[in-house]
């Protein structure tokens, strides 16, 4: 049923069962009193007595404020209002045209469609759930800002359809969060080291910047996100890495990241702060945006220990290079190697895709040293 249909249905029920008293005298029908009508997009919703005007305004405030509960405490609310043109208009009406206050609250809180929350089952991931419920992965991320899309487990709850109220609330806010500035990597070559051997002489340190966002929420969920201002708090410190002259892939130029020719790094390694909730989330690798189908290359010589579907990673390859070093390549569209196969540095092993928990074509690249993920930028 449409928003107009919901209101019409409620209004019809009010009209027949609540408005008319059992007996209406001629004097009653002629008498008129001062009242207020709530009008939405030119349509009258309900009428309240003059004495109840402030109470209605309080209910409307409380109705709007329910959509601020997930906003970070330090965010600044700039504007709260309705998506529709809604206002209280002063009128004169017959007493029997005034609606009971309980009905007024019912109409304000009327819902066109209830929220739908599901329970995660074994094998579920953002990619297949988005496809099942006709959403994008980014839609699911927006609806579930507290959930790490790469770490969901059976029994977790996931919102796949938000509540759709008849009266829509728009909130504009500004929030400032501190975000990392990536460091660059400088290399010192050493012919005593093999290609898969590296020694970090100076670890890179990310810088920090303060980012001011302007955010619009529709019924509590992100509708738009705009950067208003950026301020550098700390400059990054470059990494110095000693590498063997027996070749590993290396970055060459602005778009060649060694393991893939891409367009940019869309997500860096480490903790990130969500601009709406203010909560932290850890990213185990780097995401390199690249055209669908672009070739993906082995970082250096090694043995394939995983090649196939791996939940949120989608189609994924894991290579063991020895000396405690492994690399992971995720969200692929094609895999050209098999488990147990030996690969050489720069060998084509797969193709860029958007499988698993992915918002678009990119390569999720991880470096795992002695069982722990580490910043790939120290290796590329």
What domains does the chain contain, in order, with CATH numbers?
Answer: 3-66+83-109 (no CATH), 116-167 (3.10.350.10), 170-378 (2.70.70.10)
Is the pLDDT at 24 greater than 50? The verdict is: no
Give me the pLDDT at residue 276, please: 65
Q: What SS3 string covers the chain? A: CCHHHHHHHHHHHHHHHHHCCCCCCHHHHHCCEEEEEEEECCEEEEEEEHHHHHHHHHHHHHHHHHHHCCCCCCCEEEEEEECCCEEEEEEEECHHHCCCHHHHHHHHCCEEECCEEEECCCCCCHHHHHHHCCCCHHHHHHHCCCCCCCCCCCCCEEEEECCEECCCEEEEEEEEEEEEECCCEEEEEECCCCCCCEEEEECCECEEEEEEEEEEEECCEEEEEEEEEEEEEECCECEEEEEECCCCCCCCCCCECCCEECCEEEECCEEEECCCCCCEEEECCEEEECCCCCEEECCCCEEEEEEEECHHHCEEEEEEEECCEEEEEEEEEEECCCCCCEECCCCEEEEEECCCCCCCCEEEEEEEECCEEECHHHCC
Residue 98 has pLDDT above 90, yes or no: yes
Residue 15 pLDDT class (50, 70, 90 cuts) = very low
Q: pLDDT at position 305, please?
A: 96
Q: What is the pLDDT of residues 58-68, one digit of tens each?
A: 999 999 999 98
Considering the entire predicted model, what is its pTM? 0.60
Q: Which residue has the higher pLDDT, 107 or 248?
A: 107
């Amino acid at each position: 049923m449409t928003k107009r249909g919901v209101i019409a249905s409620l209004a019809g029920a009010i009209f027949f069962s609540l408005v008319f008293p059992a007996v209406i005298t001629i004097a009653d029908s002629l008498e008129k009193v001062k009242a207020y009508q709530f009008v939405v997009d030119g349509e009258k919703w309900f009428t309240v007595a003059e004495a109840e005007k402030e109470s209605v305004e309080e209910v409307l405030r409380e109705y709007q404020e329910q959509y601020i509960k997930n906003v970070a405490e330090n965010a600044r609310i700039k504007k709260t209002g309705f998506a529709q043109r809604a206002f209280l208009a002063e009128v004169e009406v017959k007493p029997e045209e005034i609606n009971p206050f309980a009905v007024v609250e019912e109409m304000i809180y009327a819902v066109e469609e209830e929220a739908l929350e599901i329970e995660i089952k074994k094998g579920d991931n953002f990619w297949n759930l988005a496809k099942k419920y006709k959403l994008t992965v980014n839609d699911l991320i927006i609806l579930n800002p507290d959930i790490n899309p790469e770490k969901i487990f059976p029994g977790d709850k996931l919102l796949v359809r938000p509540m759709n109220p008849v009266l829509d609330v728009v909130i504009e806010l500004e929030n400032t969060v501190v975000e990392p500035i990536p460091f660059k990597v400088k290399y010192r070559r050493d012919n005593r080291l093999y290609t898969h051997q590296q020694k970090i002489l100076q670890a890179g340190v990310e810088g920090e910047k303060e980012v001011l966002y302007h955010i619009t929420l529709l019924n509590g969920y992100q509708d738009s996100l705009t950067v208003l201002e950026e301020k550098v708090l700390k400059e990054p410190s470059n990494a110095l890495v000693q590498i063997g002259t027996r070749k590993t892939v290396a970055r060459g130029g602005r778009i060649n990241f060694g393991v893939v020719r891409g367009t940019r790094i869309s997500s860096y390694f480490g903790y990130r702060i969500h601009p709406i909730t203010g909560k932290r989330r850890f990213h185990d690798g780097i995401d390199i945006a690249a055209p669908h189908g672009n070739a993906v290359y082995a970082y250096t010589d090694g043995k394939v220990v995983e090649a196939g579907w791996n939940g949120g990673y989608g189609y994924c390859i894991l290579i063991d290079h020895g000396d405690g070093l492994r690399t992971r390549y995720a969200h692929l569209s094609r895999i050209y190697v098999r488990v147990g196969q030996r690969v050489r540095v720069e060998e084509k092993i797969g193709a860029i895709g958007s499988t698993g928990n992915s918002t678009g074509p990119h390569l999720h690249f991880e470096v795992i040293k002695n069982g722990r993920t580490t910043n790939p930028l120290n290796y590329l």
